[in-house]
Amino acid sequence: MSSHEHHHIETKAIHAGQEIEELHGSVTIPIYQTSTFAFHDADEGADLFSGKREGYIYSRMGNPTTRALEDNVAAMEGGYRSIATASGMAAISTIYASYLSQGDHIISTDAVYGPSRVLMERDFSRFGVEYTYLDTSDLDAVKKAVRPNTKMLYIETPANPTIGITDIRGASDLANDIGAVLVVDNTFMSPILQRPFEHGADIVIHSMTKFLNGHSDVVAGIIVLKNEAQFDLVKKVLWRFGGSIDPHQAWLVLRGIKTLPLRMAKSGANAQAIAEFLEGHPKVKWVKYPGLKSHPHYEVGLKQQDGPGALISFGVKGGLEGGKSVMNSAKLATLAVSLGGIETLIQHPASMTHATVPMEERLETGITDDLVRISVGCEHLEDLIADLDQALATIKV
């Protein structure tokens, strides 16, 4: 990682964490598909287990392919070390378990990725962890929610699926004032467009299933730490819980990352044009996209993002039925949950991912019946606009 420390992020995406394999000269890192590693002698084994020597013991506790991926993402984010996990939720649950104890309190974004909220409300609450979910783009509201036992601020910015933006520096200042750890879910932006450590974050996480992998064929997560003490704490929690990534998964994500800068540039350019198209469409009521000046947090986005990203939320006329009509009529955009793939995905939260959430709770977090979320891919722009136009034309108002 250190050999690429001063390179631009596009170069880091391709090279960081990866050296030419010495035995046969393999240009790409091999897949070390092994559960365990042999020791040269008993002393080496003892040194590895005691921590006197760095190396590999058992793939749940580390693997050369996994390490290459971890060093790659840490280099892009500007962190100390990373810990790759079997899923984004494995990363989130590991962070909760590492930093929250009975009687502690967490403040988090209300429109955060659903399972990360459900995990807290249904599971960690059983062990005595308290929680408050609110619009973290309103830092005054966050300040009012602080309790003496608040130990973590957990923000997702932009938020899912409302595309609200939280000021990372402002959240960091507040976390420092109260002695809490600031965790930023950077999945929507990727390190190409946003590097939360530069704005005061303590820990950065990703669902690597999304933009980092970019091909809708892997489930994986990662935790990026900014110092050795954090790394030593979190890695042992992960080892005990067992949410480690498989080396083949790690290799696939590492392969996907090589095109991450190209994909983010193309999908972002497509998204900007599509957002502008939607904003002027007669069947569209509103559009939330960080690249539009109409976004309520447009200026905050300019401060901390290197681009507006590929996620757009918009409201269609006709409410719930209008949203369903668009879903049923889209032909090129794939009707599927998740995001960040090279192909365009579209979904309607009110009738799909959030259909079981009580309406009052949905509306409180800004997930209205008319909201459609689109993860813009890398197809030709004219094809995408034509598909959305014909789908919107089916709405009866």
Active site residues: 60, 113, 185, 210
Q: Is 12 helix (H, G, I), strand (E, B) or coil?
A: helix
Q: How far apart are CA 333 and CA 331, in angstroms?
A: 6
DSSP state of 122: I
Q: How far apart are CA 17 and CA 368, in angstroms?
A: 43
Dihedral angle computed from the Cα positions of residues 274, 276, 281 and 284, in that order, rounded to the nearest 10 degrees: 80
Instruction: Find, among 216, 214, 207, the residue nearest to 259 by Cα.
Output: 214
Q: Cβ distance 130 to 145 under 8 Å?
A: no
Q: How far apart are CA 70 and CA 271, in angstroms?
A: 29
* Cis peptide bond upstream of 196, omega within 30: no
DSSP state of 301: H
Q: Cβ distance 210 to 160 under 8 Å?
A: no
> 360-385 burial by CB neighbour count: b if 16+ within 10 A, else e?
eebeebbbbbbbbbbbbbbbebeebb
The pairing of strands 311-316 and 203-207 is: unpaired
Strand order in the sheet with 203-207: 81-85, 221-225, 203-207, 181-185, 150-156, 105-109, 130-134
Q: Cβ distance 339 to 161 under 8 Å?
A: no
Q: Is 102 helix (H, G, I), strand (E, B) or coil?
A: coil
Query: φ and ψ at 312, to 5 degrees?
Result: -130, 135
Which two three-digit tokens encode residue 199? 């704005």
Q: Cβ distance 182 to 287 under 8 Å?
A: no
Q: How far apart are CA 242 and CA 272, in angstroms?
A: 40
Q: How far apart are CA 187 and CA 160, in angstroms?
A: 10
Q: How far apart are CA 339 and CA 376, in angstroms?
A: 8
